[in-house]
Amino acid sequence: MKRIKVVITGLNIVSSLGLNLEENWENIVAGRSGVRTITLFDPSHNETRIAAQVPDEFETYAARFCKKRIAQQMTRATRMAFVCAVEAVQKSGVDFNAADRRRCAVILGVVSTGNTSVERENAPRNRIIRNMSNAMPAWISLHYGLEGPNYAVNTACASSAYAIALGYDLISRGSADIVITGGADSSINPEEIEGFNETYALSTRNDAPEKASCPFTKDRDGFVLGEGAGMVILESDESARAREAVIVAELAGYALTSEAYNIMAPLTGGEGMAATMRIALRHAGINAGDVDYINAHGTSTTLNDLYETMAIKQVFGQRARSIPVSSTKSMIGHTIAAAGAIETAITVMSIRHKIVTPTINYHTPDPELDLDFVPNNSRAHKIDVAISNSFAFGGHNATVVLKKY
């Protein structure tokens, strides 16, 4: 069956480095860190007391997008998803009044809506609506009156990359014209942090928050939790061209795999990660030799960064060292369910602006990790093809392949 070409016509990001795409891009290109001491709650009882919180003005900003009553029925994470999606749609120029709404879908990566003890203190009502993991796509569909498929997918840190891939499928097989896809997450709360600390997954560098996320370095001691949302508007090439949309990139293909190895640890030697990248390139019809940039999962944990480096070497061979590989998480932390979509958006911006964004805090190289990690500063670099990796607890792996349009 002939696949319909899938293009991207809108992007948006909410993160610790900004409330929209433009702010985020400027700060990420500048190599700034969004990590700081937690203020969302009193973290003094937690081993980790730092995170990449979305700026404090978010709630005021969000009030422009939805009425108070609706906002009260949403958690902070759901509000991030909603605001991010509405602005992504605006940027795409899609007019749903002119579209067949039954062929417009919403697929989001959602691990949790984050209706935690901190949230419930401030908003004790609407517990079911606020808890529902399908609430994020549901609110977006309600807002626009979209009647196509509408659901959430949970594959932990790969959730929104999975959502993008599933959106690709809907369009490429002709079941939808437009898919709002992405994800949101706000896991900065005492319970999540305590849980991640139990697994030794988080950095405890509380005295130097902005330096704590240092992927691929010898100093890395765990990831930094972030929060935010990322949205990617997928559209059939035909639909986008018919309405003379600005097409920002092509989503050329993807791979979704499961390592079936361990609930937390990645498969030894990065074999699962390598297989995912290989399958994604094959699906996209791209040769490994044509990849110009890799937006790494790059969490700043011991095993992920080691195995991802090994996997890249397995897939790209001798050429691996000449491909820029960078980690957005060095600046905005790990946004869990939002990470795949945020990093896809950054990768698309890199293609459009011919700039690779840096891995900041890269000061002490790990001799075992010897790729070009774009240390500390952005770099001009022409990109025709790029990949973005997402590797999750549970062995859920995803790679998306993006092409210049």
Partner 1 sequence: MANIEIGIRDEVRNVVYEFFSEECEVPRNELSNTTNVIKDLEGDSLMFLELLEIFKKKYKLNVELKTVGKYVVKHPAETIGAIIDMTMLIIEHENNIANLD
* Pairing verdict, β 36-37 and 50-51: antiparallel
Size of the site for partner 1 (CB under 8 A): 5
For residue 108, report the phi and psi dihedrals to the nearest 5 degrees: -120, 150
List 56, 64, 69, 97, residue binding partner 1 (CB under 8 A):
69
In a 10 Å sphere around its CB, with 0-12 CB exposed, 13-18 middle and 19+ buried, how is residue 278 labelled?
A: middle
Compute the chain's Rg from CA coordinates. 19
Shortest Cβ 75–partner 1 spacing (Å): 17
70 near partner 1, judged by CB under 8 A: yes
Q: Is 283 a catalytic residue?
A: no
CB 106 within 8 A of CB 146: yes
157 is catalytic: yes
Residue 127: phi and psi, rounded to 5, are: -60, -45
Query: Among 44, 67, 95, 98, which residue interacts with partner 1 (rule: CB under 8 A)?
Result: 67
Q: Would you count residue 64 as binding partner 1 (CB under 8 A)?
A: no
The residue from 84, 214, 283, 297 that is catalytic is 297
Is 84 among the residues known to form the active site?
no
Identity of the residue, 73 or 390, whose beta carbon is nearer to partner 1 in the bound complex:
73
Tell me the closest approach of the beta carbon of residue 67 to partner 1, in angstroms: 5
For residue 387, what are its two tokens?
């990949």
Q: How far is the CB of 325 from partner 1 (least distance, A)?
A: 46
Q: Tell me how far CA of residue 168 lies from CA of 46, 233, 253, 265, 280, in angstroms.
A: 40, 10, 8, 28, 13
Helix axes of 339-353 and 159-172: crossing angle, nearest 10 degrees: 70
What is the rounded CA–CA span in Å between residue 190 and residue 183?
Answer: 22
Nearer to partner 1, 49 or 101 (CB): 101
Residue found under tokens 């944990």 = 301
Spot the catalytic one: 66, 84, 104, 157: 157
| Per-position x/- string for 73-112, each x denoting binding to partner 1 as judged by CB under 8 A, each - no binding | x---------------------------------------
Using alpha carbons, select from 50, 55, 392, 39 the residue that is nearest to residue 228.
55
Strand order in the sheet with 325-326: 150-153, 104-109, 178-186, 227-236, 6-14, 249-258, 396-403, 385-391, 293-295, 325-326
Nearer to partner 1, 70 or 279 (CB): 70
Interface stretch with partner 1, choices 43-51, 62-70, 132-140, 369-377 (CB under 8 A): 62-70
Query: Contact region for partner 1 (CB under 8 A) — 3-11, 63-71, 167-175, 376-384?
Result: 63-71
Binding mask 357-386 for partner 1 (x = CB under 8 A): ------------------------------
Identity of the residue, 144 or 293, whose beta carbon is nearer to partner 1 in the bound complex: 144
Q: Parallel, antiparallel, or unpaired for β 6-14 and 227-236?
A: antiparallel
Which stretch, 21-29, 64-72, 232-240, 275-283, contacts partner 1 (CB under 8 A)? 64-72
Catalytic residues: 157, 297, 334
Where on the chain is the footprint of partner 1 (CB under 8 A)? 67-70, 73
